Amino acid sequence: MLQFFAKYKFFAIVLLVLSAIIISVIYSILKPERTLPIYQPDTVNAELVDSTIQHVKKYHTIGSFELTNQNGKTVTEKDYKDKIYVADFFFTTCQTICPIMTGHMLQIQEKLKNDNDILLLSHTVMPEIDTVAQLKKYAIEKGVNDAKWNLVTGGKEEIYNLARKSYLAAKETGNPYDLVHTENFVLVDTKKRIRGFYDGTQPDAIAQLLKDIEVLKAEEEKP
């Protein structure tokens, strides 16, 4: 009996290895690839969405815009054409959640510094304070990479519409075009669709955002 097992030991090992490979291949074929949802206004917290679009169930995309960045350069949606990007809303004198959010954006910037297909975009909700000069000062103090991350200002109405009609990421105060920004980081794909919301104050959410960017990149690279 021992001689029998010794004789066929090699074949048993080969069979075992082949079985493991076959099982692994079958599992990888049958296991569905993870994909990110596509968010629509009707699936997002209504507090963050303008009442005129809360009923929209499909085809929602980020609208066109024309803003000014920390270098006085005009920034439009064309600067983000064919790019995946992370957007948020903040203001430079905020002393509560903004410093944490900015710190986490800096981590994302550092992590993806060599990936030219991923950009960042931060909109001030207080353009009356956040002039180009103020944004530039803030950018220098924080270490913003101008090639990757735009801090933008503009008209209050346009920023309001972007926050609540495009990114679905801010609350209104009751005063015309005034906003209460949230901690949300918004992940946008190359087709200008919202693919994720993340708590910009939580390290775990930032880690998940970075993972989801890789998932989204893999999806975008498919023919």
Tell me, yes or no, whether 53 and 16 share the same domain.
no
**Does residue 59 lie in a domain region?**
yes
Please say if the pLDDT value at position 2 is more than 90. no
Phi, psi of 8 (to 5 degrees): -105, 10
Q: Length of the chain in residues, anyone?
A: 223
**Does residue 107 lie in a domain region?**
yes
Tell me, yes or no, whether 134 and 65 share the same domain.
yes
Please say if the pLDDT value at position 5 is more than 50. no
Q: CA 114 to CA 184: how far, in whole Å?
A: 24
Is pLDDT larger for residue 10 or for residue 114?
A: 114
Tell me, yes or no, whether 134 and 25 share the same domain.
no
Tell me, yes or no, whether 187 and 145 share the same domain.
yes
Please say if the pLDDT value at position 22 is more than 70. no
Helix, strand, coil percentages in the chain from 3-state DSSP, rounded to 5: 40, 20, 40
- Give the pLDDT confidence score for residue 4 in this predicted structure: 45
- Give the pLDDT confidence score for residue 174 in this predicted structure: 86
Q: In the chain, how many domains are there?
A: 2
- Give the pLDDT confidence score for residue 222 in this predicted structure: 81
Tell me, yes or no, whether 27 and 46 share the same domain.
no
Going by the DSSP 8-state scheme, the letter that residue 96 receives in this structure is S
CATH number of the domain encompassing residue 216: 3.40.30.10
For the beta carbon of residue 165, count every other beta carbon within 10 angstroms. 17
Tell me, yes or no, whether 174 and 90 share the same domain.
yes
Host domain of residue 9: 1-31
The dihedral over CA atoms of 124, 127, 128, 133, expressed in degrees to the nearest 10, equals 90
Is pLDDT larger for residue 19 or for residue 177?
A: 177
* Contact present, 150 and 75 (Cβ < 8 Å): yes
Tell me, yes or no, whether 190 and 168 share the same domain.
yes
What pLDDT digit, counting tens, does each position of 102-159 carry? 999 999 999 999 999 999 999 999 999 999 999 999 999 999 999 999 999 999 999 9
Tell me, yes or no, whether 97 and 196 share the same domain.
yes
Cross-strand bridge partners of residue 16? none
Tell me, yes or no, whether 50 and 122 share the same domain.
yes
Question: Three-state DSSP class for 201?
Answer: coil
Tell me, yes or no, whether 48 and 11 share the same domain.
no
What pLDDT digit, counting tens, does each position of 174-205 carry? 888 999 999 999 999 999 999 999 999 999 99
Quickly count helices (H) and strands (E) in the chain.
Answer: 5, 9
- Tokens for 147, please give them: 């090639």
**Does residue 36 lie in a domain region?**
no
- Give the pLDDT confidence score for residue 150 in this predicted structure: 98
Report pTM.
Answer: 0.85
Average pLDDT over residues 21-48: 75
Question: Sign of dihedral through CA atoms 110, 70, 125, 161?
Answer: negative
Tell me, yes or no, whether 113 and 80 share the same domain.
yes
Tell me, yes or no, whether 107 and 20 share the same domain.
no
CA-based nearest residue to 86, from 128, 114, 121, 39: 121
* Contact present, 98 and 91 (Cβ < 8 Å): yes
Residues contacting 22, CB < 8 A, separation 6+: none
Residue 8 burial (C-beta neighbours within 10 Å; 0-12, 13-18, 19+) = exposed
